[in-house]
C-alpha cells in the first residue's frame, strides 16, 4: 500500500512520535511519502530526524511564490474541481481561527500537494493535528486527490474546535484517529452520531529499542525531571512554585527541566527570584537519546500540565520504569494510575504538586522500583508502536479509504 503523510513541520524535535509511526508503518510494508510545509532548515539534534529530512518534500521551500505554478496548472487542468475546492476554502475561512486569506494560501498549498500525491500514486494521505495540515489534505481531496484521514492530539484542537471547523473535517475524512479515549469523546461532541464510527483510538507508540537494556537502578540523587516544551500549558511555572515550597521546608532535591520554549525567560526569572539556581537546571532542546538519559538519571518524571492530549513523554518515562507525577487532565488518567505507577494531583494546585513531589522523594527505592515496573508493564501493553501501526494499517485498508 502506498500512502502519504502530511505534517506542518517535519521532522521536529517535539514530534518524534510521528517519525516513529512512519518508520513502523514502513516495517509493516507500507510505502510512505513524507510531505511537510516546512522543516528543511530547522535545528535538529537527532540523527534519525536528520535522515528523515532527506526523505521529505517541502511545500514552502520555494516560498509562497513557488505555489503560483502549481496553482495555475491545477486551475487549467481541473477548473470545476478547483471551484469546488475554492468554495470549501472560503467556507472554512468563515469565522475561523485565521482570516480567509490564509485559507486561500492553504488552497494553493493543496494544489502543489495534490500534484505530488498523484505523481506518486498515493492511495491515501494522513495528516497529524486537526489544524491547517488537515485543511490542506481536505482541500487536496476536493481537488481530486485521494481520501484523507488525520490524527487529533489535543488540546489545541479541542480549545478551538469550532474555529477550526473540526466537525466538517471529521465528516469529510475516511477516518479520524484519537490518541486517547478522552480525545475520542471530544470529537464525538462535534459530529452527529452517524459519524462516530469514523473516530478510532490509535495510541502514540514507543519502539522497544527505546527502553530495551535501560538501566533499572534508580539514581542516588533526589532528582526529578520535567520533559516538554516550556510553555503555558505544561505548567512549569507552577512547578517552580512547588519547588520553592519544598526548598522553604528544607527538602533536598534536584529538578531538571528538559526542553525549551517561549516561557524560558519567565521561568528563569522565577527561578532567580526564588534563589533556586542550585536546585533547578534547564537543558534547552536535547536529542531523544539525551531525553532518555535525563529520565534514567531521575527518580521520576513530573509533568504538572494544565491541558494535554496524552503526552508521549509520560509513555517514555513509564517505558524506562520511572513512575510519573502528573495531573488529572484529558487522557492522562487512562495511563497513569494513582499509587500504582505514579501520582495524580489536581491541575493548578501548587500545594498538591509539592506534596506529590515530597512523597516521591521520600519513598524508599523498593517502592519506586515496584511502581516503575508497574508503569513499564502498563505502557508496554498499551503503547507498542508496531501494534498501533498495525491498527492504523487496518484503518487505511478499510473500504472508505
Whether 334 contacts 308, CB under 8 Å: no
Is the predicted pLDDT of residue 289 greater than 90, yes or no?
Answer: no
Q: Which of 245, 242, 258, 269 is nearest to 301 (CA)?
A: 258
d(CA 223, CA 238) in angstroms, rounded, equals 17
pLDDT band per the 50, 70, 90 thresholds, residue 216: low
d(CA 65, CA 88) in angstroms, rounded, equals 22
Is the predicted pLDDT of residue 42 greater than 90, yes or no?
Answer: no
Q: Higher-confidence residue: 207 or 29?
A: 29
Residues 6+ away with beta carbon under 8 Å from 120: 2, 4, 33
d(CA 119, CA 74) in angstroms, rounded, equals 13
Question: Tens of pLDDT along 337-390?
Answer: 999 999 999 999 999 999 999 999 999 999 999 999 999 999 999 999 999 999
Is the predicted pLDDT of residue 214 greater than 90, yes or no?
Answer: no
User: Where exactly are the structural domains of the chain?
Assistant: 2-205+384-396, 208-382
d(CA 345, CA 304) in angstroms, rounded, equals 8
- What's the pTM value of the predicted model, to 2 decimals? 0.92
d(CA 339, CA 14) in angstroms, rounded, equals 29
Residues 6+ away with beta carbon under 8 Å from 366: none
Classify residue 343 as left (phi > 0), alpha (psi -120 to 50) or beta.
beta
Residues 6+ away with beta carbon under 8 Å from 379: 206, 315, 318, 319, 335
Q: What is the pLDDT of residue 125?
A: 98
pLDDT band per the 50, 70, 90 thresholds, residue 213: low
Question: Tens of pLDDT along 150-193?
Answer: 999 999 999 999 999 999 999 999 999 999 999 999 999 999 99
Is the predicted pLDDT of residue 218 greater than 90, yes or no?
Answer: no
- Write down the mean pLDDT value for the chain: 95
What is the sign, positive or negative, of the torsion defined by CA atoms of 317, 319, 323, 327?
positive
CATH, domain range 208-382: 3.40.50.2000
Q: What is the pLDDT of residue 215?
A: 58
Whether 164 contacts 96, CB under 8 Å: yes
CATH, domain range 2-205+384-396: 3.40.50.2000
Q: Which of 50, 8, 48, 128 is nearest to 292 (CA)?
A: 48
Is the predicted pLDDT of residue 331 greater than 90, yes or no?
Answer: yes
d(CA 245, CA 239) in angstroms, rounded, equals 10
Q: What is the pLDDT of residue 378?
A: 97
Domains 2-205+384-396 and 208-382 share a fold: yes
Amino acid at each position: 500500500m502506498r500512502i502519504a503523510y502530511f505534517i506542518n513541520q517535519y521532522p521536529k524535535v517535539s514530534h518524534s512520535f510521528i517519525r516513529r509511526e512512519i518508520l513502523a508503518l514502513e516495517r509493516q510494508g507500507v510505502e510512505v511519502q513524507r510531505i511537510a510545509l516546512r522543516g528543511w532548515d530547522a535545528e535538529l539534534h537527532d540523527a534519525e530526524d536528520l535522515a528523515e529530512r532527506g526523505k521529505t518534500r517541502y511545500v514552502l521551500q520555494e516560498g509562497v511564490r513557488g505555489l503560483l505554478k502549481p496553482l495555475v496548472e491545477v486551475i487549467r487542468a481541473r477548473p470545476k474541481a478547483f471551484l469546488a475546492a475554492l468554495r470549501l476554502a472560503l467556507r472554512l475561512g468563515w469565522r475561523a481561527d485565521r482570516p480567509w486569506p490564509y485559507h486561500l494560501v492553504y488552497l494553493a498549498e493543496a494544489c502543489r500537494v495534490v500534484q505530488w500525491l498523484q505523481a506518486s500514486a498515493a492511495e491515501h494521505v494522513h495528516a497529524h493535528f486537526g489544524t491547517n495540515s488537515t485543511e490542506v489534505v481536505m482541500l487536496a481531496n476536493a481537488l481530486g486527490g485521494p481520501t484523507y484521514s488525520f490524527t487529533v492530539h489535543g488540546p489545541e484542537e479541542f480549545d478551538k474546535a469550532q474555529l477550526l471547523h473540526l466537525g466538517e473535517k471529521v465528516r469529510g475524512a475516511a477516518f479520524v484517529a484519537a490518541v486517547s479515549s478522552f480525545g475520542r469523546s471530544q470529537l464525538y461532541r462535534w459530529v452527529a452520531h452517524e459519524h462516530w464510527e469514523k473516530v478510532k483510538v490509535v495510541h502514540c507508540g514507543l519502539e522497544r529499542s527505546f527502553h530495551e537494556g535501560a538501566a533499572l537502578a534508580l539514581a542516588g540523587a533526589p532528582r526529578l525531571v520535567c520533559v516538554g516544551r516550556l510553555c503555558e500549558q505544561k505548567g512549569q511555572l507552577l512547578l517552580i512554585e512547588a519547588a520553592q515550597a519544598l526548598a522553604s521546608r528544607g527538602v533536598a532535591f534536584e529538578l531538571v527541566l528538559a526542553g525549551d520554549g517561549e516561557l524560558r525567560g519567565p521561568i528563569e526569572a522565577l527561578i532567580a527570584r526564588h534563589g533556586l539556581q542550585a536546585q533547578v537546571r534547564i537543558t534547552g532542546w536535547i536529542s531523544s537519546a539525551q531525553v532518555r538519559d535525563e529520565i534514567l538519571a531521575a527518580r521520576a518524571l513530573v509533568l504538572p500540565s494544565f491541558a494535554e492530549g496524552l503526552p508521549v513523554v509520560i509513555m517514555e518515562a513509564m517505558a524506562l520504569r520511572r513512575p510519573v507525577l502528573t495531573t488529572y487532565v484529558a487522557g492522562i488518567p487512562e495511563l497513569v494510575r494513582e499509587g500504582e505507577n505514579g501520582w495524580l494531583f489536581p491541575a493548578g494546585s501548587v500545594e498538591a504538586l509539592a506534596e506529590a513531589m515530597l512523597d516521591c522523594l521520600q519513598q524508599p527505592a523498593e517502592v519506586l522500583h515496584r511502581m516503575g515496573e508497574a508503569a513499564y508493564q502498563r505502557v508496554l501493553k498499551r503503547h507498542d508502536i508496531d501494534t498501533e501501526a498495525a491498527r492504523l494499517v487496518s484503518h487505511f485498508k478499510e473500504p472508505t479509504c
